[in-house]
Chains A and B, each alone.
Chain A
Amino acid sequence: MSTVRAQPVVRVAPPQAPVARETVFSVDGLSVFYGGTPALRDVSLDLHANAITALIGPSGCGKSTFLRCLNRMNDLVPGARVEGRLLYHGIDLYGPDVDPIEVRRRIGMVFQRPNPFPKSIYDNVAFGLRILGMKDDLDGRVEQALRRAAIWDEVKHRLGRSALGLSGGQQQRLCIARAIAVEPDVILLDEPASALDPISTQAIEDLMQELRRDYTLVIVTHNMQQAARVAEMTAFFSLEVGADGSRHGILVEYDSTERIFTQPADERTEGYVTGRFG
């Protein structure tokens, strides 16, 4: 047998990460502690404008903790402490002059369970606008937000009725409309479809594709196929056991979604996405 190694004459390169676009978040060495116990350690990554980035990983891996860092929601957790650098459009998000309220206006959040206020559909969307003093053309802003959230046609004749009368899928889109109304730059979604049926889930996923034209989206999901369907970039978080036996989340791999689901570089990612653990 010849020992000469054959060189392939035609080769198709594996999928590469998409060309870098404007960086919205630049995260460097981010760690989060709850009451002195590390929950997430040493995360570094850049999140890009007008992309959907999915955060995946097993329970307790810190992906929701990471998401909440992006709009300082962890400030509301007693004993929470954030270390490292988190730049938002080049500005230190945790800097002394930064107003967390303004942060949360620019970086909106949608939660796992739809949480409309016990108010009318209209007032749900107008609520944040009134608080922030964005009262000019309130009707127009409410309509615009409901249209962008792809729910206007379903609610335009009953804006005065209670939001609690809507279906779960409609309530979630209303919550997205509420987040959009205050003209954010980024929308964070924490398992936005996990409490919804498949049809409503499809509607939310379609909506996310529409929204990425105007916004940067970051989604935490337990549903790996959802990440594969909607996201352009995917970050895989996992659990690491420290020297003292404590467990904390780490970022294992961050790449294009196609790469993560066809040819992940790290065997821990491979083990998670294929369901073959250790």
Chain B
Amino acid sequence: MRASFHGELDELEAALQEEGALVLRVLRTALNALARGDGELADEVIGFDDEIDRRYLRIEQGVQSLLARQTPVAGDLRLVLAVLRINLHLERMADYCVTVAKLTQLMGGLGVSGDAILSSLEDMGQRCEQMIRVALDAFAGRDAEKARSLNDLDELIDRANRRAIEDVLSLGDSPEEREYGLRMLVISRCVERIGDHAVDIGEQVAYLVTGELLELTDASHPARA
């Protein structure tokens, strides 16, 4: 048994799950800040991101060290590569949360309230939370079937993102409403991208389990009906 190597690999995987749990917390905080227009809560999101970046770098260094010292092969190699890539996807999710938080802070002074769009963004956000949980569970359980289900969940978010345009267009024509609407479109896009990264994590789970590299969604192909 390569006890120390496999111990280190287990620790890396546990660290990745912790990072995932933190991303879920950041996303929930960002969504709450957005819903309440709470600038202080948005500050918390930005503070969280430094912690996620630290964890991201620690995992990145751990993977580099394992590759350099242990020459993992077969299932171990796939696990190390999956950890490396999933780590990046989680870090990107947190970056999108930071963008949402910063935009939330900018909108406080506009005096516009868009209840319909806020409600659909909360809905999208909840779907994203569900997707991240499914992705992390699929990874922990080495469940390729569950990982593939992420594609269907993502389709719902993509549709909601397309509806956000209609919500924005119905806001009104004042400069404040137009600025509010544009910022909301960016937020909607950020949430939609978080869902995409959850699908990407699912692809890594499928790769880990089956050894097949695959792309579950592809921007160059039209979405399925």
Contact = CB atoms under 8 A, between A and B. Distances in A.
B71 interface: yes
* Residue from B71, B75, B221 whose CB has the most chain A CB atoms within 10 Å: B75
A263 B211 contact: yes
B6 interface: yes
Nearest to A228: B73
A218 to B, nearest CB: 21
A269 B32 CA distance: 50
Contact of A13 (B74, B75, B212, B221): B212
B76 interface: yes
B75 to A, nearest CB: 6
Contact of A10 (B150, B153, B218): B218
Nearest to B217: A9
Contacts of B75: 270, 274
A60 B119 CA distance: 68
A275 interface: yes
Given A274-B73, A276-B1, A6 B213 contact: no
Contacts of A273: 73-74
Contacts of B2: 274-276
Interface in B184-225: 206, 211-218, 221
A4 B149 CA distance: 8
- Give the interface size bracket for B toward A: 20 to 34
B22 interface: no
Interface in A194-252: 224-225, 228
Contact of A12 (B73, B145, B150, B213): B213
B152 A261 contact: no
Nearest to B151: A6
B48 interface: no
Contacts, number: 75
Interface in B41-81: 71-78
Contacts of B72: 274
B148 interface: yes
Interface string A261-278: 111100001100111110
A9 B221 contact: yes
A157 interface: no
A36 B64 CA distance: 51
Interface in A5-63: 5-6, 8-14
A256 to B, nearest CB: 13
A6 B152 contact: yes
Contacts of A6: 148-152, 216
Contacts of A260: 74
Contacts of A264: 74
B74 A1 contact: no
Contacts of B153: 1-2
A274 B221 contact: no
B81 to A, nearest CB: 10
Given A10-B215, A276-B6, 20 more contacts: A1-B149, A2-B149, A8-B148, A8-B214, A9-B216, A10-B214, A12-B212, A12-B213, A228-B73, A261-B73, A261-B74, A261-B77, A262-B73, A262-B77, A263-B211, A273-B74, A274-B73, A275-B5, A276-B2, A276-B76
